[in-house]
Amino acid sequence: MIAPDTDDTPAAVQNAGPGEGRLLTATVERRSPRLAAVAHVVTLAGSKHAVFVPVALYSVRARNWRVLAGCLAGAAVRHGLEELIGRRRPPKEGWLEVPSGSSMPSRHTAETVLTTLLVTDGLTGSARAAMAAGGVAGVLVGWSRLVLGVHWPTDVIAGAAFAFAWWALFRRVILPR
């Protein structure tokens, strides 16, 4: 069990925001083997290969290297933020996989949402379609990271928020319509 937010909790839990320890505990305690299996599959969408291959394929096919550059640059900036923030992950006893790096912002969430935003925007030219697809991707992958016990709720929120902000900046500066 991941302890609730009190003064006698492990350092990793004390690193959580208000209520995050309780929320993560509730999520971890209620996961079933089937739910965990689904979370493992969904989180694969946020793996580096699953994220960058669609962008590379789209960029080659559309001859639009700016989208690939936006995705790679966004990943680099997100990594810099992760190093700068250096937030500890939740306690290991709740993990169903072994994560790498710091906890915030969630790489899986940020890179999946950013890829979804860039590719959907590139294919449709519609900011609304991109935002809807990015929102769905963020909810699904963010949920999977919580079920797997490797992120605090605000990590996945920060990952999605970063992706939307990076995409909006990229769309305004690099890809003006």
Model pTM score: 0.85
Q: How confident is the model at residue 76 (pLDDT cuts 50, 70, 90)?
A: very high
Report the chain's mean pLDDT, rounded to a whole number.
85
Per-residue pLDDT band at 59 (split at 50, 70, 90): confident
Tokens of 166: 């990076």
The separation between CA 177 and the C-alpha centre of its own chain, rounded to angstroms, equals 27
- Tens digit of each residue's pLDDT (9 = 90 or more) over 31-40: 999 999 999 9
Specify if 137 maps to a domain.
yes
Residue at 26 is within a domain? no
Establish if 61 belongs to a structural domain.
yes
Quote the pLDDT of residue 15: 62
What's the pLDDT score for residue 150?
A: 94
Question: Per-residue pLDDT for 172 more than 50?
Answer: yes
Quick: pLDDT tens for 129-161.
Answer: 999 999 999 999 999 999 999 999 999 999 999
Give me the pLDDT at residue 177, please.
54
Average pLDDT, stretch 109-138?
93
Q: Which secondary-structure segment (H or E) carries 40? A: helix 33-44
Statement: residue 110 has pLDDT above 90:
yes
Domain count, the chain: 1
Q: How many H-runs (helices) and E-runs (strands) does the chain carry?
A: 8, 0
Three-state DSSP state, 38: helix
Tokens of 20: 């995050």
What pLDDT score does 3 carry? 38
Residue 118 lies in a domain: yes
User: Is 153 contained in some domain?
Assistant: yes
6 belongs to a structural domain: no
Q: Does the residue 15 lie in any domain? A: no
Q: Which residue range forms the structural domain that includes residue 143?
A: 33-173
The answer to whether residue 81 is domain-embedded is yes
